[in-house]
Chain A
Amino acid sequence: MSKRMQRERITGKADGLLVIIYVVLCLLGWLHVWSAAESQIRPSPFDPTYEPGKQLIWMGICSGVALVLMLLDTKVFPAFRSFAYAASLGLLILVLIIGQEVGGNKSWIVLGSSIKIQPSEFAKYATALMLAGFMSTQQFNPRINKQWLWVFGIILLPAMLVLLEKDTGSTLVYAGFVLALFRFGLNRALLFLGILVAALFLSSLFVQPWLLVLLIITVAALVWFFVFRRNKQSLWPMLLITAGLSAFTLAGRWVFDTVLLPHQQTRIKVLFNPDLDPRGSGWNVNNSKMALGSGGLAGKGFLKGSLTQLKFVPKQHTDFIFSAIGEQWGFLGTSFVILLYLGLLYRLVWKAEAQRSTFAKVFGYLVACILFFHFFMNVGTTIGLAPAVGVPLPFVSYGGSSLLGFTLLLFTFIKLDAHNKEVLR
């Protein structure tokens, strides 16, 4: 093999744009973890006993992992899927037994004195591999409903285990998997229904349920009258859906009060009224908004964010890293990051669509949707548009496990994409 071919095998056909965005996001993350690190005196960004230094070490590890991924044969990934999936399920069960609680979640395995691993971050990768593998097999037919039961099973199994760890954020992220499925034949009415259910659930907390029920029936009647009147068969499903939604609306309040834990209830309530609990759940979001808001158009300058320096926003180096960027770089900084993400997501979908192998295509969409969901929940929380469930901003938030998990996802796809041309149709 010539040197040129060797080089090509590793980097040659890798998508430059994706790699560049990845590197930029990682460096941004490292610098802002440094600016917001939870220690009294600012350490050197290279000091491995503090968060920024640790993050740098993890970044080094991730570069190594990315390089190894590029050296692997693409056939490894589908072949590896069952093993990875089983192993990650095993780790998720293990963490329930020997895991340590950090910040209310029992989702960490502690190795030695300083290394903590969060198996749920790797479970996303394994689940994506498993799902892509299953959906790219010959037997899979999106028109057979039973097949979709398998698909949901693959997603729900790890999601349930993560939920048992009381890690709401990581559980919700599995909804990102479902988002990708619509590209592969999942009925889009489900998406509409899902959004409708969520909207009804939230409105039932503020509006009298019987008013909502009245609204549902009116809308259903209008829809049926104008859209489905000629189609006699649609009457029963229509009635069924209307009845179900009405029942759900009436039960929504009850579900909220009895199923959700008190701290989860406040997280949702605070979303609509941050002043409700300014020292508790609202505290993080309020302070995060204040840090962002005080940044103005151009920010206060790097390492000059007074609220960031005061450690005013709790968990700012992890879940609220976006507010540190916002205070120091202002609207210009935040819009740059958002556009960077948009670029990443667009490029991923673009590339995924161009994949010749179903495995790579499904995997690409999954990667895009998982990253999107994290981006949506994390930034949404920081700016007060989504409940504070605690998910990291991929590549930027402090945390070795999540960085490694996202690196695996991204570079596996980059590797698959690099060999797209070799795939025979």
Chain B
Amino acid sequence: MYFIMFGLVAFIFLIRLFFLQVIDDSYKVAAEGYTIRRLVDHPVRGNILDRNGEVLATNEFAYDLMLIPAEAGEVDTFLLSSLTGVSMKDFRKAYAKVESNLESGQNHSKQPQALVRELTLKSMAAFKEKMYLFPGYFLSKRSVRRYPTPTAAHALGYIREADKKAIENNPYYQAGDYIGVAGIEKSYEELLRGQKGVRKVFVDVRNNEKGPFMQGALDTASVAGYDLTTTLDLSLQMFGEELMQGKKGAIVAIEPSTGEILALVSAPNYDPNWMVGRNLRVHYGDLIKDKNLPMLNRAVMDGYPPGSIFKVMNALVGQQEGVIHRNTVVPCRGGFRLSASHTVGCHGHPDANLHFSITTSCNAYYCHVFNEITKKYPTAREGYSVWYQRALKFGFGTNLDADLPEAKGGLLPPPEYYDNRYGKGRWRGLTVISLAIGQGELKANALQIANLAAIVANKGYFITPHIGKSVKGSSLSQQLFKRHETGIDTAHFSVVYEGMYGAVHGAGGTARIARVDSLQICGKTGTAQNPHGKDHSVFMAFAPMQHPKIAIGVLVENGGFGATWAAPIASLMIEQYLTDTISRPWLHDRIRNGVLIDTLQ
């Protein structure tokens, strides 16, 4: 019985195996060309929100046409072109890129590469139907960056396919991955990007997925990026961009008590959606060719001489150094005499005390202050070094450690700068006297000017200006919220408050156009000398005078006097932010419709 049973089973098995292995060919055919495909599961990039939770950046889904060079045979590219709606010319370009990636060693031939980005839904469906004709081709779903309100392009920055350098620098990135390369997208890349997942699947010869490799034991799921809440106020940002249309320049608004950047406008600007996927091809060339440099973030660039707003800092440094006090009167009489033949000119006004010198922006007063500081010490160089160190503490010459990757420090010349230029011991305070009134070699940007306004508003300190506010599920570096002391006594600020208030509200004030009767705005105009053309219009302000809620810096290139463009813009911004209304529609219209550059078409 046992012999029969064992023999019978063995016999049945042998028959079955004979059919399975020798007679039936279907398994041999099916098993041909089985390969493992490594599919990257791209994480959903974190959203970027404004301070009130309005969405600044989010994601949409799109399908990319992918290609694995090693598996791709000869295919009908004409059919592919008609299915996907991509021109033959673009296809040839895309193939050439794949080839060059292979030759440069950036990709190996078994690695999927994107051939066409963001197929339309229609062409995606058309291709899917005929996919079996294209071995080695497949679709990959990914999320694409979208900026629902096309605003704050410079602050948000953009993402880009990681280039060779980025891939070499960080093993996380592979060809086809996106990486933030500017603005918030760059500075918060690691929080926003999430964690990639990898799936390995079997693919048969007909390009069908046949199931997970090793039962998915090696697969990892992607983890979505964190949502970042920024300090930006969307409505204020959009208002600022509206005011700056047709002009070149920048606005930065900061909440003084926290250092939070409420608005960061750089004009001319562009739609951040232009930097995404297929739009990029359409617009990028125009953007980089535009002579008005729309890609430049003017709010944080090296900048221009800040002009008279710098007097505010010198008024504070002068008091701290004890060379002036609130009642010091300096005779003006049309300017500050450097020598018999040279005078730093000033407009006609009565002799000024400290308060009035700010209100009326007296040049002679600040030349005196600066000269006295340099004279107070044994050598002019020592005196200048003291002044330089104090100015540094106001954030001039530094990028302020802001979380904006493009932030530049401008120029605050260190003593060595003049040693090189004039020779050691061969320069005096009077040699560099233009620094007193914010001219000369100085360079500052709107962020530094707004920060100066914040320092005055805070009466002596500032919090690192920053644009990242919070991250749900993670935390931001405490460096962002650091308090920086300027070393100026609080008592010295009251006269500056009065002077800046007077500049807006008082008789003889340089910025009376910025006046809003219901708001106590403190401001200071500036006019940055421009050897290449019309002067730049500069203004800084904070409001309200009691418990300031907003500090602002405005720069309008070729805007002339500070009061012409920059002051009204700052005034409108402050009013919009504090009261949410515009009481002067005529001014709003004048600014909004003012065109100072040829806008691009």
Residues of A within 8 A of B (CB): 38, 182-183, 188, 278-279, 283, 289-297, 306-307, 310-312, 314, 326, 330-331, 334-335, 338-339, 341-342, 345-346, 349, 365, 368-369, 372, 375-376, 379-380, 383, 385
Closest to A375 in B: B9
A383 in contact with B2 (CB, 8 Å) = no
Q: Which residues of A contact B6 (CB under 8 A)?
A: 342, 345-346, 349, 372
Those 4 A-B pairs whose CB atoms lie nearest each other, nearest first: A293-B27, A294-B31, A331-B21, A342-B10
B17 touches A335 (CB 8 A): yes
CA distance A160 to B427 in the complex (A): 101
Q: Assess whether A334 is in contact with B17, with CB atoms less than 8 Å apart.
A: yes
Complex Cα spacing A164 to B77, Å: 60
Q: How does the 8 Å CB contact mask read for B14-38 relative to A, with 1 for contact and 0 for none? A: 1011101110101110111011100
- Can you list 14 A-B pairs, Cβ within 8 angstroms, ordered by A? A183-B2, A279-B211, A289-B20, A289-B27, A290-B30, A290-B31, A294-B27, A307-B34, A310-B35, A331-B21, A334-B21, A335-B17, A342-B10, A349-B3
Q: With A292-B21, A346-B3 in contact, is A383–B26 under 8 Å at CB?
A: no
B214 contacts the other chain (CB 8 A): yes
* B10 CB → nearest A CB, Å: 5
For residue A369, which residues in chain B have a CB less than 8 angstroms away from its CB? 2
- Whether a CB of chain A sits under 8 angstroms from the CB of B12 is yes
- In the bound complex, how far is the Cα of B211 from the Cα of A312, in angstroms? 10
**Other CB < 8 Å A-B pairs besides A293-B28, A295-B21, A365-B2, 16 of them?**
A188-B1, A283-B211, A291-B31, A292-B20, A293-B20, A307-B31, A312-B202, A335-B14, A335-B17, A338-B14, A346-B6, A349-B3, A349-B6, A369-B2, A372-B5, A379-B13
Contacts of B1 in A (CB 8 A): 182-183, 188
Known A-B contacts A339-B10, A383-B20; the reply to A312 vs B34 at CB < 8 A is yes
Contact A330 B21 (CB under 8 A): yes
* Cβ B2 vs Cβ A349 within 8 A: yes
Whether the pair B214, A331 counts as a contact (CB closer than 8 A) is: no
Contact status A293-B21, CB under 8 Å? yes
Contact call B34/A310, Cβ cutoff below 8 A: yes
Closest to B20 in A: A293
Given A292-B20, A306-B34 in contact, is the A38-B214 Cβ separation under 8 Å?
Answer: yes
Interface readout for B417-443 with A: 1 if CB under 8 Å, 0 if not? 000000000000000000000000000
A293–B26 touching, CB < 8 Å: yes
Q: Which residues of A contact B20 (CB under 8 A)?
A: 289, 292-293, 383
**Does B27 lie within 8 Å of A290, measured CB to CB?**
yes
Inter-subunit contact B28/A314 (CB<8 Å): no
Q: At the interface, yes or no: B7 with Cβ under 8 Å from chain A?
A: yes
B173: CB under 8 A from chain A? no
Residues in A neighbouring B91, C-beta threshold 8 A: none
Tell me the minimal C-beta distance from B31 to chain A in angstroms.
Answer: 4
Q: How far is the CA of A168 from the CA of B21 in the complex (A)?
A: 29
Do the beta carbons of A296 and B16 come within 8 Å of each other?
no
CA distance A188 to B2 in the complex (A): 12
Q: How far is it, in angstroms, between the C-alpha of A335 and the C-alpha of B21 when the chains are bound?
A: 11
Point out the residue from B10, B12, B36, B214 that lies within 8 Å of A314, measured CB to CB: B214
How many A-B Cβ pairs are below 8 Å?
97
Residues of B within 8 Å of A375, CB to CB, are: 9
B215 close to A (CB within 8 Å)? yes
Count, chain B residues at interface, CB 8 A: 33
Q: Dominant SS at the B interface? A: helix
Residues of the B chain whose Cβ atoms lie less than 8 Å from the Cβ of A385: 12-13, 16
Measured CA separation A295–B32 after assembly (Å): 11
Collect the chain A residues with CB atoms within 8 Å of residue B9's CB: 372, 375-376
Which of A294, A335, A342, A375 has most B Cβ within 10 Å? A294
Chain B residues with CB under 8 Å of A314's CB are 214-215
Q: Give min CB distance, A266 to chain B, whole Å.
A: 15
Inter-chain contact A341/B10, CB cutoff 8 Å: yes
Tell me whether A306 and B13 are in contact (CB under 8 A): no
Query: Across the interface, do A293 and B31 meet the contact criterion of CB distance under 8 Å?
Result: yes
Q: A294-B31, A346-B3 are in contact. Are A311 and B22 (CB under 8 A)?
A: no
A315 to chain B, nearest CB (A): 9
| Interface flag for B213 (CB, 8 Å) | yes
**Residues 290-320 (chain B) with a chain A CB within 8 angstroms:** none
Q: Give the residue among B6, B28, B36, B213 with the most A Cβ atoms within 10 A.
A: B6
In the bound complex, what is the Cα–Cα distance between A297 and B6 (angstroms)?
Answer: 24
* Minimum C-beta distance from B498 to chain A (A): 75
- Within residues 208 to 241 of chain B, which ones have a CB less than 8 A from any CB in chain A? 211-215
Q: Please give me the residue from chain A that is nearest to B32 by CB atom.
A: A294
Query: Nearest chain A CB to B219's CB is how many angstroms away?
Result: 13
Cβ contact within 8 Å between A310 and B36: yes
In B525-572, the 8 Å CB interface with A consists of: none
Taking the closest CB of chain B, its distance from the CB of A369, in whole angstroms, is 8
Whether the pair B10, A296 counts as a contact (CB closer than 8 A) is: no
Rounded to whole angstroms, the CA-CA distance of A188 and B4 in the bound complex is 15
- Whether B202 and A310, one on each chain, are in contact in the complex, defined by CB atoms closer than 8 angstroms, is yes
Chain A contacts of B212 at CB under 8 A? 279
List, in ascending order, chain B residues with CB within 8 A of A383's CB.
13, 16-17, 20
Specify which chain B residues have a CB less than 8 angstroms from the CB of A292 in the assembled complex: 17, 20-21, 27
Known: A182-B1, A291-B31, A310-B34. A296 touches B21 (CB 8 A): yes
Closest Cβ–Cβ distance, residue B32 to chain A (whole Å): 8
A315 (CB) vs chain B CBs: closest residue = B215
Complex Cα–Cα for A369 and B10 (A): 14
Complex CA gap A326/B27 in Å reads 13
Contact check, B30 vs A326: say whether CB atoms are below 8 A apart. no
> In B184-206, which residues have CB < 8 Å from any A CB?
202
Taken together as a complex, chains A and B put the C-alpha atoms of A383 and B212 apart, in Å, by 21
> In the docked arrangement, what's the CA distance between A369 and B3, Å?
11
Q: Chain B contacts of A331 at CB under 8 A?
A: 17-18, 21-22
Which chain B residue shows the least CB distance to A307?
Answer: B31
Task: Kindly list chain B residues whose C-beta atoms are within 8 Å of the C-beta of A310.
Answer: 34-36, 202, 213
Minimum C-beta distance from B171 to chain A (A): 18
Question: Whole-angstrom distance between the alpha carbons of A334 and B16 in the complex?
Answer: 11
A349 to B2 CA separation, bound complex (whole angstroms) = 8
- Contacting residues, chain A, for B13 (C-beta < 8 A): 338, 379-380, 383, 385
User: What's the least CB distance linking A81 to chain B, in Å?
Assistant: 24
Q: Which residues of A contact B16 (CB under 8 A)?
A: 383, 385
CB distance from B578 to the nearest CB of A (A): 62
Given contacts A290-B30, A297-B22, contact A326 B202 (CB under 8 A): no
Q: Could you tell me if A338 and B21 are in contact, using CB atoms closer than 8 angstroms?
A: no
**A296: chain B residues within 8 A (beta carbon):** 21-22, 28
**In this complex, what residue of B is CB-closest to A380?**
B13
A279 to B24, CA, bound (A): 22
Q: How far is the CB of B30 from chain A (nearest CB, A)?
A: 6
Given the complex, which residues of A lie within 8 Å of B30, measured CB to CB?
Answer: 290, 293-294
Which residues on the A side are within 8 Å of B21 (C-beta)? 292-293, 295-297, 326, 330-331, 334
B10 contact from A283, A289, A338, A368, Cβ within 8 A: A338
**Complex: chain A residue closest to B10, CB-CB:** A342
User: Chain B's nearest CB lies how many Å from the CB of A141?
Assistant: 22
Q: Which residues of A contact B36 (CB under 8 A)?
A: 310
Given the complex, which residues of B lie within 8 Å of A293, measured CB to CB? 20-21, 24, 26-28, 30-31
Q: Please, which residue of chain B has its CB at the minimum distance from the CB of A339?
A: B10
B573 to chain A, nearest CB (A): 60
Query: How many angstroms from the CA of A272 to the CA of B36 in the assembled complex?
Result: 29
With both beta carbons as reference points, the residue of chain A lying nearest to B6 in the complex is identified as A345
Q: Which one of B17, B211, B213 lies within 8 Å of A278 (CB-CB)? A: B211
Chain B residues with Cβ below 8 Å from A312 are 34, 202
Q: Which residues of A contact B28 (CB under 8 A)?
A: 293-294, 296
Q: Give min CB distance, B556 to chain A, whole Å.
A: 62
**Residues in B neighbouring A339, C-beta threshold 8 A:** 10
Across the interface, name the chain B residue whose C-beta is closest to A330. B21
- Which residues from chain A contact B202 at a C-beta distance below 8 Å? 310, 312
Q: Which residues of B lie under 8 Å from residue A279 when comparing CB positions?
A: 211-212
B7 near A306: Cβ-Cβ < 8 Å: no
Chain A residue with minimal CB distance to B21?
A331
Residues of B within 8 A of A290 (CB): 27, 30-31
